[in-house]
Structure 1
C-alpha cells in the first residue's frame, strides 16, 4: 500500500471512530439539557465548549451550567462596556450605567457559588443565583422605568438569564424555605457572638462621629465613609451618626462599614433621587451598598 493510501485509510479510521463519539456526546448533552427549563441555549453553548462533557450527577451538571452562565455574563459585561458611546441621551446613559454595575454584581454572585474557598450550602447557592437573576431583571427594568429605547439589551444579554434559570431549576427547591434554626435569639446563626455584642453595644465603640453641629469628626456621612476608604486594614469601621437630618444619597462600595444612629426619628438620612427626576429605581436608594458588607443596627 502506498504512503498516500495509508494516509487516507488513517483519516477514514479517525472519522469512523470520532463520529459516533460526537453523536454520543451530543445525545448526552441533550439528555441533561432537556432537564432544564431552557434546553436550547444549554445545548447550543455546551456543544461549542472545547472540554469533554461528562457530568456524573445532577450536582456536577449544575456546577457546569453555573460556569457556563458565568462565561456568558463575562462576555455580556464586556459587551455592555462597549455600548456606552451608543447612548443617545442622559436617560439611556443612566440605565446603561446601572446595567454595567449590575453585571459586575452578577459576575461576583456567580463566582461565589462555585468558589472552592467559599463554604456554600445548597440554600446559599440558590440564594446567590436568585440574586444574580434579580440583578439582570433590574438592568432591564431601568430602561422601562425611564421610558427609553432598550435597543442595547439584546447585545447585553447573551442568554445569561436563561442559563441562570437552568442552574436554579437544578437545585434542591426544598431548601427555599429552610428557616428552622436560622435565627438564634434576634440574630441569624451566622452572626458570631462577638458580632452580636458589637451590635448590642450600639455607639459605644466608634471609629468616626458625624455631627452637623461640628461636635464630631465630620459634618457629613459621606465624608466619614471617604475616611473609612483611606483606613489601613479591612476591619469593621463603625460610624456613629448623631441626631439630625442628613440630606445625602450614599453609595457605599466598601466592606465592613457599620452605621449607628441615635434612634428612630432622631437620626434621619433622606435623599431626593427618583425616576421622575431621571434616576432609575436601582440608583435612587438613599443608602445603597454595592459589593460591600453594610450593617445598620439601629434605625436611622
Structure 2
C-alpha cells in the first residue's frame, strides 16, 4: 500500500514538474517572439523620416505584423487611411459652420477637402492592390502602389499650401494644419515602408 502511494506521489510530482517546465518554456518563447516583433518594427521605422510616430503607431500591432514587411506596409497604409478619413470628416464639418472663416479661406478649405478626398481614394487603391501582390505581377503592382501613395502625399501637401497667407482664425488654422501635418507624416512613413518592402523583395534570390 505504502509502495503504491509512493509511486503515485512520484508520478504526481513528475507531472507537475513537466507542466511547469512546459508553461515556462511557452512563456519564454512568447516573450522572445514579442521582443523580436517589437525590435523588427523599431528597426524598420528607423529608416522612415518620422521614426517615433512610425513606432508608436505600429508597435501596438506587433503581434499581427510579426516580422512580415508586407503586413507592416499594409498596416501603415491602413493607419494612414484612417487618419486621412478622420481629417476629411473634420474639415467637412468645419466648412459647414457658418461664419467660421472668410470667403477666401472657405474657398481654400473647399479645395483642400477635394484633394484630401483624392488622397483617400489613392490610399484605398494602394491597400487593395497590396492585397493582390503576386510574384508574377510584383513590380508592376508595387510601382502602381508607390505612385498612388506618392500622389496622396502630394495632395496633402497641396492642401496645406492652400492655406498659406489666407486670413482666418488662428486657432482654426492651427487645428487644420496639425491634422494635415500628421496625415502627411503618416503617409510619408507608409511610403518608406512600402519602398522597404519592395527593396527586400529585390534583395531576395
Q: If the TM-score is normalised by the length of the shorter chain, which range does it land in? A: 0.5 to 0.7
CA distance in 2, matches of 1:56, 1:22: 13
Residue in structure 2 matched with residue 223 of structure 1 by the alignment: none
1:95 aligns with 108
Q: List aligned pairs for 1:89-168, cutoff 5 A.
A: 89-116=102-129, 121-148=141-168, 149=170, 150-157=173-180, 159-168=182-191
2: CA distance, partners of 1:127 / 1:68? 18
Is the 8 Å Cα contact of residues 66 and 167 (structure 1) preserved in structure 2? yes
Partner of 1:219: none
Q: Give TM-score, length-normalised by structure 1.
A: 0.45
Give 1 or 2: higher helix fraction.
2
Q: 2:145 aligns to what SS in structure 1?
A: helix
The CA RMSD measured in Å over matched residues stands at: 3.2
Decide which of 46, 54, 57 is 1:45's aligned counterpart: 57
| Corresponding pairs, count | 159
Give matches, 1:1-300, under 5 Å.
23-49=35-61, 52-57=64-69, 59-84=70-95, 85=97, 87-116=100-129, 121-148=141-168, 149=170, 150-157=173-180, 159-172=182-195
Tell which has more relative contact order, 1 or 2 (C-alpha 8 A, sep 6+). 2
How many Å apart are 1:23 and its aligned residue? 4.6
Once the two structures are TM-superposed, the CA of residue 108 in structure 1 deviates from its matched residue by: 0.2
Contiguous gaps of at least 5 residues in structure 2: 1-23, 199-205
Moved more, 108-117 or 153-162: 153-162
Deviates more, 1:123-132 or 1:111-120: 111-120
* Kept after mapping to 1: 8 A contact 2:65/2:71: no
Q: Flag structure 1 segments of 5+ consecutive residues without an equivalent.
A: 1-12, 176-300
- Name the structure with the higher strand share: 1
- Contact kept, 8 Å, 2:37 with 2:63, in 1: the verdict is no
